[in-house]
Amino acid sequence: MNNLNTYFLLDPSVTFLNHGSFGATPRPVFEEYQRWQLELERQPVEFLGRRFNGLMAESRAVLGEYLGTHADNLVYTQNVTVSMNIVARSLGLGAGDEVLASDHEYGAMDRTWRFLAKEHGFTYINQPVSLVSREAFIDSFWSAVTPRTRVIFLSHITSPTAVIFPLDEIIQRARQAGIITVIDGAHVPGQLSLKLDSFGADFYGGNLHKWLCAPKGAGFLYARPEMQNLLKPLVVSWGYESITPGNSTFVDHHEWWGTRDVAAFLSVPAAIKFQKDHDWVNVRSECHKLVRDAQGRICELTGLAPLHARSDDWFAQLAAAQLPIDTDLPALKIRLYDEYRIEIPLIEWQDKKLIRISVQGYNTEADIDRLLFALSKLVSIKS
């Protein structure tokens, strides 16, 4: 794993422990991205006017195989924010309805649901959940379900706290209760194995530019075939009332947005191939060991416990650790970068101060050592 850093374009003077924010693309995948951009520029009319549908279908077929679903159950989007906006704006929620989420959700998604709640009169609820055990999580979340709950919205891997939520039973219960499930999987593709059809969520959005290492602006929306008719196009264009309809109305309505750069979408098969060629199952395992070590060492340094039960099932290549409550996060972030050239997010969540560590195939044990050395110098530890 150690020589994988030669494939990435990251600044070697920076210790990059923030793959979770925007990802990083290996050189072969980035070159494929640029090749598609050049292909578009050579003959834009042919590319967008004649080849677009076929090229996108081929790319979606590869992605569908990777994600365990048919290509026609997927559309490419720029990111999960776009995917979730398509879903949230389509469900016809109104006064008396409730959308139930956890208190670990991504800020942009909380804002999306709150905005629409104000517009349409439904209630958006962030339910506190227990991370003591799988059973405690399920019980604490499900206790907030009421007869008014129409939608359950949850992250698969949370952004602020880097926790893998055990969702399978929640999804099964929701289906039995007639509640729609909408899952934010921004951090999942490339970090966890995902088979969407068997996973069972009604709607699932994922980012491909994060842990799959595709170019920026590559994401997707999955919809179960039985639920696709609920979705309205976020941008109405020629796919609506299509003159030349394809196999899927879902794809027709959501894929064509007019003139835009689709090179990131067409490069996704190259990203999938890159990880397959480099035994990414093993890479992920090695990354998990490094991030587990980093989290444990930070907890030992601060004397503060992890947010979740001490089990590897709660995190993968992304983990969070608590910092002392009196930590000045903006000042610490500046000093970590300016004095130690460490790129890492510091997060204020609920009443806690967190540091979130990402470990990808280009990271090494030396990166973790550098982080711990810097924290030992900069974080005020009270004995």
What three-state secondary structure class fits 203?
Answer: strand
- Per-residue pLDDT tens for 110-131? 999 999 999 999 999 999 999 9
pLDDT for 383 beyond 50: no
Report the pLDDT value the prediction gives residue 189, as an integer from 0 to 100. Answer: 98
Share of the chain above pLDDT 90, in %: 95
The answer to whether the pTM exceeds 0.85 is yes
Q: Which of 29-38, 59-68, 237-246 has the weakest average pLDDT?
A: 237-246
Angle between helix axes 268-277 and 27-42 (nearest 10 degrees) is 160
Share of the chain above pLDDT 70, in %: 99
b/e burial code for range 71-85 (CB count within 10 A of at least 16 → b): bbbbbbbbbbbbbbb
What average pLDDT does range 289-315 have in this prediction? Answer: 94
pLDDT for 2 beyond 80: no
In order, the DSSP letters of 288-320 are HHHHHHHHHHHHHHHT---SS-SSGGG-SSEEE
* Per-residue tokens: 77: 């989007």
- Per-residue pLDDT tens for 160-208? 999 999 999 999 999 999 999 999 999 999 999 999 999 999 999 999 9
| Phi/psi of residue 177, nearest 5 degrees | -90, 0
Give bridge partners of residue 126 from the DSSP assignment. 101
Confidence of residue 90 (pLDDT cuts 50, 70, 90): very high
Q: How many CB atoms lie within 10 A of CB 279?
A: 11
Average predicted confidence (pLDDT) for the chain: 96
**Residue of 37, 75, 29 lying closest to 56 (CA atoms):** 75
What average pLDDT does range 138-152 have in this prediction? Answer: 98
CB 212 within 8 A of CB 272: yes
Give bridge partners of residue 322 from the DSSP assignment. 354
